[in-house]
Amino acid sequence: MTNPVIHFEIGGHDLARATAFYGELFGWKPQPAGPEYALVPAGAHGAGVGGGLLQTSGDMPPYVTVYVAVDDLRAMLDRAAALGAKTVVTPTVIPGIGEFAMFADPDGNIIGLLHQQAEAAAS
């Protein structure tokens, strides 16, 4: 079985501006999910994948990335490293969701990995 893309993320300097822009452009209806994050639901009838808009801070530049579902986060990070990737975010718990990490591929593209808790994956 392959590991599917299950989430996208767009990071920018102004969450309110991003929410308004993508809402107007694509008709997205981002829902607040914390002070610096908004969740974007998947399309009707399960079309596409849901995602999120993140307000970056400090020197963090704007970005677009995808998150891939994995069964073993650490093993996948090790495998990516063996293929030339560099870990940029170590495994981090998201309460009630699971755990994520991010790596830069050999060309510098940032890819997220997400290991969902059983309850979160079922919903």
Q: Facing residues of 9 across strands? A: 52, 65
Side-by-side strand order, sheet with 51-55: 31-32, 37-40, 51-55, 5-12, 63-69, 110-116, 98-104, 86-94
State CA 34 to chain mean position distance. 15
Kindly tell me if the per-residue pLDDT of 119 is higher than 70: no
User: What pLDDT is recorded for position 44?
Assistant: 85
Q: How far apart are CA 113 and CA 101, in angstroms?
A: 5
User: What pLDDT is recorded for position 11?
Assistant: 96
> What are 54-111's pLDDT values in tens digits?
999 999 899 999 999 999 999 999 999 999 999 999 999 999 999 999 999 999 999 9
User: What pLDDT is recorded for position 49?
Assistant: 94
**Encoded tokens for 110:** 């940032």
